[in-house]
């Protein structure tokens, strides 16, 4: 097929979730374009203890480097990003937490109506199957509130099954001696205090729970869902602005096996290629700062200077 109702660029955390949800309507067809392959069966992806060996592997990690940063002696900084079905959820260190309610409410205050803690919390709960053993609860003084945890969602969440010889307990004691209180449940919108962060690990198999295992694998046999792997999206195809109508995304060009293909979308093109490559694809397609696009010989479709600007990256690998 070369035409679908929806075309999703990026088979990672966001892309697979939206694709799986859209494919619940059997009358709609969905295509996902993913630059990497199916890699969830690799031991380094499945086994939590081997996760660190995945970093810099070309079939799993884009291995991006920043431009030289003045604050660190003009060194470029390594910026890992997942490549493959599952995106960064097949590469990260499986830590899974939530920000404070204040941070989510701030998103709505900037104009994104409905993007607040109260509304998003419903989907946090829906997305997860959380479980905790009595041993975890007693050892770390954890008291999870059922209101903030789901038990029937596709993503599995547990507390770390191994703590490195009571490593957490030693940190706790040190922080408590400085007056930092315990936090019995850091998923309730209050992130202040000492706590143990959950991991996205299946408690039955002790293997990684990722966007691939949670959203792709249960849906991969649906006839209305197509995932095109090893395909690099190169350009969004737009309607002709000369027609006098607003510019509309009509499809996506992608490169697979060194051949350029085009897939059309009768309803929507959805960009979910991550914080780096989503703006990159927009710019390659002529949406961005006019001065930058012209400098690189890219015809301007929409002059939108904010695209590709103001990126801030956490240096915490466990949250990559």
Q: Quote the pLDDT of residue 247.
A: 87
Where among 160, 190, 207 does a domain terminate? 207
Q: Quote the pLDDT of residue 314.
A: 61
Sign of CA dihedral 275, 276, 277, 279: positive
What gap in Å lies between CA 122 and CA 41, rounded to an integer? 31
Q: Quote the pLDDT of residue 134.
A: 84
Where among 207, 229, 248 does a domain terminate? 207
CATH of the domain at 174: 3.30.560.10
In a shared domain, residues 58 and 106: no
**3-class DSSP assignment, residue 151:** strand
In a shared domain, residues 216 and 88: yes
Q: Quote the pLDDT of residue 105.
A: 97
pLDDT in single tens digits along all 320 residues of the chain: 799 999 999 999 999 999 999 999 999 999 999 999 999 999 999 999 999 999 999 999 999 999 998 888 999 999 999 999 999 999 999 999 899 999 999 999 999 999 999 999 999 999 999 998 888 788 777 888 999 999 999 999 998 887 766 788 888 899 999 999 989 999 999 999 988 889 999 999 999 999 999 999 999 999 999 999 999 999 999 987 655 568 899 999 999 999 999 999 999 999 999 999 999 999 999 999 999 999 999 999 999 999 998 887 765 443 33
What gap in Å lies between CA 207 and CA 198, rounded to an integer? 14
In a shared domain, residues 159 and 244: no
Q: Quote the pLDDT of residue 303.
A: 93
Asked whether the beta carbons of 61 and 78 are under 8 A apart, the reply is no
What gap in Å lies between CA 251 and CA 128, rounded to an integer? 33
In a shared domain, residues 215 and 320: yes
In a shared domain, residues 87 and 152: no
In a shared domain, residues 107 and 192: yes
In a shared domain, residues 244 and 113: no
Q: Quote the pLDDT of residue 164.
A: 66
Where among 185, 207, 229 does a domain terminate? 207
In a shared domain, residues 76 and 155: no
What gap in Å lies between CA 32 and CA 18, rounded to an integer? 10
Q: Quote the pLDDT of residue 129.
A: 97
Number of domains in the chain: 2
The pair of structure tokens assigned to 9 is 């660029």
In a shared domain, residues 101 and 199: yes
For residue 74, count CB atoms less than 10 angstroms from its CB and return exposed for 0-12, middle for 13-18, buried for 19 or more. exposed
In a shared domain, residues 289 and 215: yes
What gap in Å lies between CA 231 and CA 229, rounded to an integer? 5
CATH of the domain at 224: 3.50.50.60
Angle between helices 101-109 and 117-127 (to 10 degrees): 120
In a shared domain, residues 84 and 214: yes
Is the overall model pTM greater than 0.85, yes or no?
yes
What's the alpha-carbon Rg for the chain, to the nearest Å?
21
Residue 197 is part of which domain span?
A: 95-207
């Amino acid at each position: 097929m070369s035409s679908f109702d929806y075309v999703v660029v990026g088979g990672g955390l966001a892309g697979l979730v939206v694709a799986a949800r859209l494919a619940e309507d059997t009358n709609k067809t969905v295509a996902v374009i993913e630059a990497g392959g199916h890699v969830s069966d690799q031991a380094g992806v499945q086994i939590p203890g081997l996760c660190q060996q995945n970093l810099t592997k070309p079939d799993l990690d884009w291995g991006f480097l920043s431009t030289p940063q003045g604050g660190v002696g003009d060194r470029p900084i390594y910026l890992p990003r997942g490549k493959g079905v599952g995106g960064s959820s097949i590469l990260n260190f499986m830590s899974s937490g939530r920000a404070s309610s204040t941070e989510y409410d701030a998103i709505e205050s900037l104009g994104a109506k409905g993007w607040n803690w109260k509304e998003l919390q419903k989907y946090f709960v829906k997305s997860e199957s959380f479980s905790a053993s009595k041993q975890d609860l007693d050892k770390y003084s954890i008291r999870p509130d059922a209101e903030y945890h789901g038990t029937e969602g596709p993503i599995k969440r547990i507390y770390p099954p191994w703590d490195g010889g009571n490593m957490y307990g030693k940190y706790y004691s040190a922080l408590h001696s400085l007056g930092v209180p315990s936090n019995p449940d850091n998923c309730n919108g209050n992130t202040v205090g000492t706590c143990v962060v959950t991991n996205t690990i299946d408690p039955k198999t002790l293997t990684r729970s990722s966007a691939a295992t949670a959203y792709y694998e249960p849906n991969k046999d649906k006839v209305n869902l197509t995932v095109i792997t090893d395909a690099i999206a190169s350009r969004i195809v737009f309607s002709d602005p000369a027609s006098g109508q607003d510019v509309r995304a009509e499809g996506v060009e992608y490169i697979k096996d060194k051949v350029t293909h085009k897939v059309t979308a009768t309803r929507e093109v959805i960009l979910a290629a991550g914080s780096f490559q989503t703006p990159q694809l927009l710019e390659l397609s002529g949406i961005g700062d006019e001065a930058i696009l012209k400098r690189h010989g890219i015809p301007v479709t929409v002059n939108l200077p904010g695209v590709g600007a103001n990126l801030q990256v956490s240096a915490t690998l466990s949250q990559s």
